[in-house]
Structure 1
């Protein structure tokens, strides 16, 4: 049984820049399925709507955008709601950006290969989904401050709740259904690198950011900061 008392410091396989593109493609496709079936995209859209308010025009940037599926989900929601949206995705992994550009070439989403900290972006809304758990607590304090400083209306975070049931569930599901060695290794490890509510409180306090922390099904936290 893993130790759930503290965040794991073990690095995920996807954090290795030498992972072949074909393996990343399979990983991205399966992650989109997981996010769809387990409600991850629904949480992302919920966080976005909390900051959007009554705006009919908005610029949005996702840091750590991976394969771009979160931005696509927001794009589809905005089109149905009649909201004019400018969407940008930033990821340091060139393979992920290549995959996103190829998958969503006709949607009009801008994808940038860069470290988010090096990007001179100041959109209305900044968000991340399943990105924060890749970082240390110290790095996250700086990230929270960066998101606060670079967003005009606010930011939100959708990330994992570190819990035994979440770990057992995703371990079993990926073992049976996944064909990606990256997903089979990284999905359970992501849970071990996830957070508890008190840890989010501590991180936000250190960053000097006041935000709402809400638990979401299935085993996620939605962090929302509005200016």
Structure 2
């Protein structure tokens, strides 16, 4: 099955139905809990990279509805970290939803911040975070945009960058299609999810497009991880 780079996700269009889009952002939390595996990545990768003797900082690039940023914040706080999580997304609709979700969760700006911004904007500001992550973003990007996000991640990550994405397999299309039948017509989740799978990379394809210093890992049956570790710095 070839990668379908011409497929377009409906929610990304400027004319996307606002009701379906709102429901899509609301359903991301359920879908990501089932398929994204971030709890395991937090325990195995993110948590060991967070400092105990200073405020730990995490950046979520392309944060969408903000559910991953919120989950990472809750887990780190539960583990006793002094932590701030920042989520960025250039789409004003995503920013609006995530900001409302953060406010509803009761977190203040010292713990959680959502910004309408791209990774390049934060690089220009000279910002650095302990850990930089993204979830299901890479398959959206054309080659120049992918190279830009990866380069920005290296500038922004003081310790670790993890970009988690779908891994294209025929069985993924079948299982996701069946599992999301109850959501059909209620949001863009099912249609755009199937499009995302068709647009996503195999592990070997991802490895070929990653620059030096990055490593592609197959996580479970249906996820890829692009991981970069910052060079060890004096005093860290």
Which range, TM-score by smaller chain?
0.7 to 0.9
DSSP-derived class of the 1:92 partner: coil
1:19 matched to 2:16: yes
Name 1:58's counterpart in structure 2: 56
1:103 matched to 2:101: yes
Give the CA deviation at 1:97.
1.1
Give the CA deviation at 1:52.
3.0
Map 1:156-171; keep pairs closer than 5 Å.
156-171=162-177
Name 2:117's counterpart in structure 1: 114
Map 1:70-89; keep pairs closer than 5 Å.
70-89=68-87
Map 1:1-227; keep pairs closer than 5 Å.
4-45=1-42, 46-52=44-50, 57-105=55-103, 106-108=106-108, 109-119=112-122, 120=125, 121-204=127-210, 207-208=211-212, 210-227=213-230
State TM-score, norm by structure 2. 0.85
Task: Give me the whole-angstrom Cα distance separating, in 2, the residues matched to 1:22 and 1:177.
Answer: 14
Change (3 A) 1:179 1:84: farther
DSSP-derived class of the 2:64 partner: coil
**Which 5+ residue runs of structure 2 have no aligned equivalent?**
231-236
Alpha-carbon displacement from aligned partner over 1:140-168 (angstroms, at most 9, x marks no partner): 12211111122211210110000001111
Give the CA deviation at 1:170.
1.0
Task: Give me the whole-angstrom Cα distance separating, in 1, the residues matched to 2:19 and 2:40.
Answer: 28
Which range moved further: 4-13 or 173-182? Answer: 173-182
Task: Give me the whole-angstrom Cα distance separating, in 2, the residues matched to 1:111 and 1:215.
Answer: 30
**Conserved? CA contact 1:66–1:97, under 8 Å:** yes
DSSP-derived class of the 1:5 partner: coil
**Which 5+ residue runs of structure 1 have no aligned equivalent?**
none
Give the CA deviation at 1:127.
0.9
Task: Give me the whole-angstrom Cα distance separating, in 1, the residues matched to 2:214 and 2:119.
Answer: 21
DSSP-derived class of the 1:70 partner: helix
State TM-score, norm by structure 1. 0.88
Change (3 A) 1:112 1:145: same
Change (3 A) 1:58 1:180: same
**Conserved? CA contact 2:27–2:189, under 8 Å:** yes
Task: Give me the whole-angstrom Cα distance separating, in 1, the residues matched to 2:193 and 2:229.
Answer: 30
**Conserved? CA contact 1:175–1:184, under 8 Å:** yes
Q: Relative contact order (alpha carbons < 8 A, sep ≥ 6): 1 or 2 greater?
A: 1
Change (3 A) 1:70 1:22: same
